[in-house]
Amino acid sequence: MTVVIMLLALTAALAKDASIKLRFDDRKAPLPPPIDAGVLVAKTFALPAFTDARPAEERRSIGTRAGVTLRTDDSVPQFATLAGRLALQRWGLTLVGQSADCTVAVAITRFSLDESDAGYAAVVELKTTVQTAARVTLWEGTTRGEVQVSGKPGKNLLEMQVLTAAVQDALAKVVADAGLQNSVAAGKPRS
């Protein structure tokens, strides 16, 4: 009898979760918002893979759909890195593997998608650090990208597009930051 109750409880818990596939497709990705990358286009940047700074117990959970928890077995950092690279390149930044003027390290502190009958809402928070080749920190900050779109819940293409757009929105705030622009131009941290 105890085993039956435990199995029923496990089944009920699993029914409150839905799986979502994170698949980045640059051909279907939304265009990033137009921004002026200013002096950054004259520099080269290394962009290592994003890291996941969310608590370990939250890394599989990425949101809700009508009260059901959305979970993924896919790599959130890999998805966000691909979305970020595409946006930075479209804004005119030169990304190189080695011998870059600066390195941009990005940690994901929030990655959330909520779906309802009203549509989709994604929130992505990124902690970004920009360092010179000599590892001098030029700029560090946390930005938040938020995007809402209308659409019927459960559409994987819309899920990917709104998450991509939220990553792009957070990165746009990094690239457009006057403090970052000034620090990169001067080659030293802002005072």
Report the range of poorest mean pLDDT among 122-126, 154-158, 180-184.
154-158
Q: Supply the pLDDT for residue 47.
A: 96
pLDDT exceeds cutoff 70 at 44: yes
Q: Supply the pLDDT for residue 8.
A: 40
Our measurement of the distance from residue 154's CA atom to the centroid of its chain's CA atoms, rounded to an integer in Å, reads 20
Q: Supply the pLDDT for residue 10.
A: 43
Please state, in angstroms and as integers, the Cα–Cα distance from residue 33 to each residue in 37, 93, 107, 146, 173, following that order: 12, 14, 21, 12, 10
Q: What are phi and psi of 34, to 5 degrees?
A: -70, 130
Q: For the segment 50-67, what is each residue's pLDDT rounded down to a tens digit? A: 999 999 999 999 999 988
pLDDT exceeds cutoff 70 at 154: yes
Domain 2-186: give its CATH architecture. 3-Layer(aba) Sandwich (3.40)
Please tell me the distance from the alpha carbon of residue 177 to that of residue 79, in angstroms, as a whole number: 24
Q: Are 48 and 73 in contact (CB under 8 A)?
A: no
Please tell me the distance from the alpha carbon of residue 131 to that of residue 29, in angstroms, as a whole number: 28
pLDDT exceeds cutoff 50 at 11: no
Residue 180's CB: how many other CB atoms inside 10 A?
24
Domain ranges of the chain: 2-186
Q: Supply the pLDDT for residue 156.
A: 87
pLDDT bin (cut points 50, 70, 90) of residue 7 is very low
Of the two residues 3 and 171, the one the predictor is more confident about is 171
Q: For the segment 68-123, what is each residue's pLDDT rounded down to a tens digit? A: 999 999 999 999 999 999 999 999 999 998 899 999 999 999 999 999 988 999 99
DSSP string, 47-80: -PPPEE-S-GGGSSEEEEETTEEEE-SS-HHHHH
Q: Amino acid letter at 67?
A: G
